[in-house]
Structure 1
Amino acid sequence: MTTPLITEEELQRQLAEPSSRRVAFSLVVRLYSKQIYWQIRRMVYSHEDADDLVQNTFIKAWEAIEGFRGEAKVSTWLYRIATYEALNFLKKRRSEEEHRISPSEEADAAYLLSRLHADEYFDADEVEERFQKAILTLPAKQQLVFRLRYYDEMPYEQMSKLTGTSEGALKASYHHAHRKILELLDAEE
């Protein structure tokens, strides 16, 4: 995460104050847009979808700003909103697919990989593609935990606040995900 130009406490104070809320929120958008984009992008694999979901995340955050009580960091609050936006998007897409074909995890993975390849910004090599395929074999919760820990280096304590899961369960989930990914990558060599 980017080190803010303002302390967390000051940012939360300004967000709580109606007279400074708009300026503080624009700072929140500037500080966290990139991290939120990449969190979502790793889940949906499409630049256009990620851009739309980032906008939705900040719209929902703005609409809910009066209810933000500062019980979690601003970044944790935004990650939670972004995660739910991405998961709801994937659920909706999966529901749309169910009406056309018989749903399966393989179909979901194939769809997401096709989105990745269709994305003009995707320039990864074969190793990255194999890595992404391995991540997609994990259950949804393990995918989320793995991405937050591996890519964002999110501490388990913050992940716990984000997901509502105990730190011990998150550590176990990450360990199992990591092991499965290594096994899959080793098997392909």
Structure 2
Amino acid sequence: MMNLQPVEEQELIRGLIARKEKAYRIAFQLYGKLVLNAILKMVPRLEEAEDLTQEVFIELFHSVSKFRGESKLSTWIYRIAIRKSLDHIKAGKRKKRWGKIFGLSDLGQLEPRNLNHPGVMLEDKEEAEMLYAAIELLPDQQRTAFVLARMEGLKQDEVAAIMNTTIGAVESLLVRANKKLREELKHKLK
């Protein structure tokens, strides 16, 4: 996560609230790739992740005046990104369910994952596919904690701030997520 000095961050926030184009350009330069990579780990289809990244910055534009400064700006932006990702995932599940109910099979079809993005460091793309498939099976809270802590490399206190929960809750979510992933991957590798 990009760390601005408090004075620089306050200056950026004032520029965003004043709707200065330069401030938005700076915010996108500072946080755009971080947001895209975080979203790619939740929604690993590049085109969808790019669209969601744009939505995050559109929401930033419209709601920055509501930012209360209780956390760092980057934490607040991450929170928007995670919420947008989870909303997108839930909408996809609804489409699949309605597609099955009404026999619209193409609604359940998704394009193949883009495993050539920076979030995939594994040599074997099959292993990456299995990992992402297992991550998608996690409940939303566990998936969010796992992606932020294990894949984004954020500290547990940062994850807790983004998820608006306690460090203890994050630890518990990570333990449960790790256990479920181990079980799922062990099952798939048999």
- TM-score (norm. length: structure 1): 0.81
Where 2:165 maps in the other structure, the secondary structure is coil
Residue type at the aligned position of 2:12: Q
* Cα distance in 2, alignment partners of residues 19 and 125 from structure 1: 45
1:80 equivalent in alignment to 2:79: yes
Which segments of 5 or more consecutive residues in structure 2 lack a partner in the other structure? Answer: 102-107
1:12 CA drift (Å) = 2.0
Deviations 1:11-70 (CA, angstroms, capped at 9, x unpaired) = 223322566843233211101111100111111121111111100100100111222232
* Cα distance in 2, alignment partners of residues 146 and 160 from structure 1: 12
Aligned partner (choices 9, 12, 24) of residue 11 of structure 1: 9
Q: How many pairs were matched up?
A: 177
Q: Residues 172 and 49 of structure 1: is their aligned pair in 2 closer, same or farther, counting only changes over 3 Å?
A: same
Q: How does 1:19-168 map to 2 (within 5 A)?
A: 21-101=20-100, 114-117=110-113, 119=114, 121=116, 125-168=125-168
8 Å Cα contact 1:145/1:173 also seen in 2 = yes
Equivalent in the alignment of 1:184: 184
Moved over 6 A (4+): none
Which segments of 5 or more consecutive residues in structure 1 lack a partner in the other structure? Answer: 103-109
Equivalent in the alignment of 2:105: none
Bigger shift: residues 73-82 or 154-163: 154-163
The percent of aligned pairs where both chains have the same amino acid is 27
8 Å Cα contact 1:11/1:24 also seen in 2 = no
Q: Residues 148 and 19 of structure 1: is their aligned pair in 2 closer, same or farther, counting only changes over 3 Å?
A: closer
Bigger shift: residues 23-32 or 33-42: 23-32
Q: Residues 92 and 130 of structure 1: is their aligned pair in 2 closer, same or farther, counting only changes over 3 Å?
A: closer
CA RMSD of aligned residues (A): 2.4
8 Å Cα contact 1:8/1:74 also seen in 2 = no
Bigger shift: residues 31-40 or 65-74: 65-74
1:9 CA drift (Å) = 3.1
Q: Residues 139 and 95 of structure 1: is their aligned pair in 2 closer, same or farther, counting only changes over 3 Å?
A: same
